[in-house]
Amino acid sequence: MRKVLVTGGAGYIGSHVVQQLVARGESVVVIDNLSTGFREAVQDAELVVGNVGDTSLVSSVLRGCGIDAVMHFAAHTVVPESVSDPLKYYGNNTCNTRNLLAACAEAGVDKFIFSSTAAVYGLTEQGVADENTPTHPVNPYGTSKLMSETMLTDYCATGRMRHVILRYFNVAGCDPKGRIGHSAPTATLLIKAACEHAVGKRDSLAIYGTDYDTPDGTGIRDYIHVDDLAAAHLRALDHLRSGGSSLTLNCGYGHGYSVREVLDSVARVGGQPLNIVELPRREGDLAKLIACSDRLKQVLDWQPQYDDLDFIVRTALVWERKLVNKRMPLSSVA
């Protein structure tokens, strides 16, 4: 049976992809060092605890498990931290990706799906990016991912591998059935943090920047439900298995919501007002960034199922309430 290796599969996005892979009958092996993931998120898949930058370990898994394709999620993802500690991001996100590619080359793995980010674009003229928009990341997180994209495309140009690079916009929400979710105790993602406040984990919620050139002065982002994003990965795998060529694709809904609109949704779904504190802008944040994801829909025949802000918030809020009610042990999620 063909097997898929998922690095970082115990993390937030990776675990949702693993869940969908297993649900359709795939055999999945996860490598995760559990520094930002948790065991409970890996359900019905083999978990190997280790570092994706450990070429010896990865090589043994690739060969010993008969891996057909690799999905690479393992990375640090916090933009402000990347500004204060850039070498951490270049070491984990870029150097470890290089080591993973080297192990794939040695084992003859020829299909690779890479978890990238809209942060590779940086500032855009209209706040909208398609795949041909120039890449000028404004923080080390985005640069570390763009460097990995470059390595991957250069290696694939040799003809020994084909890839799909998926550039995520703002991922949010949790499994609609409440089986897994986003469990970071120090979350920076807006909807996650807002839902933590709604269930009493935070005394207040900050808006960073209220003077952007947007209708209500707060930043606008394209929010995509994590299950819709996970489905795009399965489409990408099918594309490569059917002999499809290498691709770079945006993953978003093509429209955005401001910070205030998101917080209004959390208050509406949660049924209570939020205690909001307004603070200055954070370094590296943008006024607006929206995906043009037409290529994803056309090439992979991907259609979103959960393009509704209140639904996204509701799934995130259900998970936060579950964490509180069950007193589940929390650990960061990639």
Instruction: Please report which helix (H) or strand (E) contains residue 29, including its range.
Output: strand 27-32
Q: Which residues are catalytic?
A: 141
* Euclidean distance between CA atoms 241 and 83, whole angstroms: 38
pLDDT tens for the chain, 334 residues long, are 689 999 999 999 999 999 999 999 999 999 999 988 889 999 999 999 999 999 999 999 999 999 999 999 999 998 889 999 999 999 999 999 999 999 999 999 999 999 999 999 998 888 999 999 999 999 999 999 999 999 999 999 999 999 999 999 999 999 999 999 998 777 789 999 999 999 999 999 999 999 999 999 999 999 999 999 999 999 999 999 999 999 999 999 999 999 999 999 999 999 999 999 999 998 767 899 999 999 999 999 999 999 999 999 999 999 999 998 876 443 333 2
Tokens describing residue 231: 């489905």
Looking at residue 286, what is its pLDDT? 84
Backbone φ/ψ region at 105: left (φ over 0), alpha (ψ -120 to 50), beta: alpha
The full set of domains in the chain, from first to last, is: 3-172+223-251 (3.40.50.720), 190-221+255-326 (3.90.25.10)
Looking at residue 328, what is its pLDDT? 45
In sequence order, the β-bridge partners of residue 116 are: 167
* Euclidean distance between CA atoms 45 and 314, whole angstroms: 27
